[in-house]
Structure 1
């Protein structure tokens, strides 16, 4: 009998109420990649006290103007490489640092941020600083320890659901009400 898990790429990881790691407590992670070597994802329900307008001002592009109609919140994508920006978006526009993950793409180059700020960027999109990463077997161990629920992702939750409702909406995909789950874990 094989103990290998199938790939969870394209799934949500929903932190169980028992999750105590402050980087992930109460979080929903969208997994972009998951294979035998590890996993890569973005937390989709934690915004920072930062907006695209503020990032744009820090970039100080000489020949670009900011369109306030395209301002958006910046998310805390995870504890790994928190100084790097990532844009999660539908496939379509190509930028210097775009990598495709199924129906979605992840871009890690400044040209995407500038395009969004000017109204020429991918829509819908989510901008995050940092990402979530796991080494080989780490997610599987955490799932066995009941740290996460997992389910196939619904992109509407990422792009259309209010931030405060994303965790309960993701859990509802499984028919789970997180408010009714016990904060105690046990085995019978």
Structure 2
């Protein structure tokens, strides 16, 4: 049905939950796709801050964490595992910094086993996620066909948005046409 290039092209894009998506794990979610190929998809929800300080779980990384410096719930899978994203500002160089793997543009995954001081000079802000969102092969494509998600471009600032509760609306607002209108969709359509 779809060629490989088509399948792998969503890595680094944002999935924005449409009002039709009623799964409570993903209601109003903004998901950054870290991996999307014929083996399935993996991403993190960018707008689910928890009440847990990064310092409480990954103390050595706390001072690199962006604001708010809390752990975010990356999705419903593997909540006991942490992964971190960070933006490396500036032009991509020949070699990525040690302990950082480029996902898309300036956004990359941080190796939390690496010593933080190795990366401190290179990183913009760091965001830590507990868990992730995963889709088996073809599952995300089916959800896209069903209209569960809008697919839009990610901007580096989305990863470290200081006001995650507004991210869903702000990402939609910067789109063109009908998508921008969706930003005004009421939280509870029955109250309209």
TM-score with structure 2 length normalisation? 0.75
Deviation at 1:34, TM superposition (A): 0.9
Unaligned runs of 5+ in 2: 89-95
The question of 1:177 aligning with 2:178 is answered no
Equivalent runs, 1:19-98 vs 2, <5 Å: 19-56=21-58, 72-91=69-88, 92-95=96-99, 98=100
Is structure 2 residue 110 aligned with structure 1 residue 107?
yes
Report if the CA contact (8 A) 1:82-1:129 is conserved. Answer: yes
**Is the Cα contact below 8 Å between 1:43 and 1:76 reproduced in 2?**
yes
Match of 1:12 in 2: 14
How far the C-alpha of 1:123 sits from its partner, in A, is 2.2
The equivalent of 1:155 in structure 2 is: 156
Query: Aligned-pair RMSD on alpha carbons?
Result: 3.1
Judged with a 3 Å threshold, the aligned counterparts in structure 2 of structure 1 residues 183 and 141 are, in CA distance, closer, same or farther, namely farther
Report the alpha carbon displacement of residue 122 of structure 1 after superposing the two structures with TM.
Answer: 2.8
CA displacement at 1:157 relative to structure 2? 2.1
Which runs of 5 or more residues in structure 1 are unaligned? 58-63
Find the residue that maps to 2:78 and give its secondary structure.
strand
The size of the alignment, in residue pairs, is 173
Change (3 A) 1:148 1:183: farther
Distance 2:23 2:46 in 1: 17
Maintained 8 Å contact 2:55/2:61: no
For 1:40 and 1:105, locate their aligned partners in 2 and report how far apart those are by CA, in whole Å: 14
Give secondary structure in 1 for the equivalent of 2:131.
strand
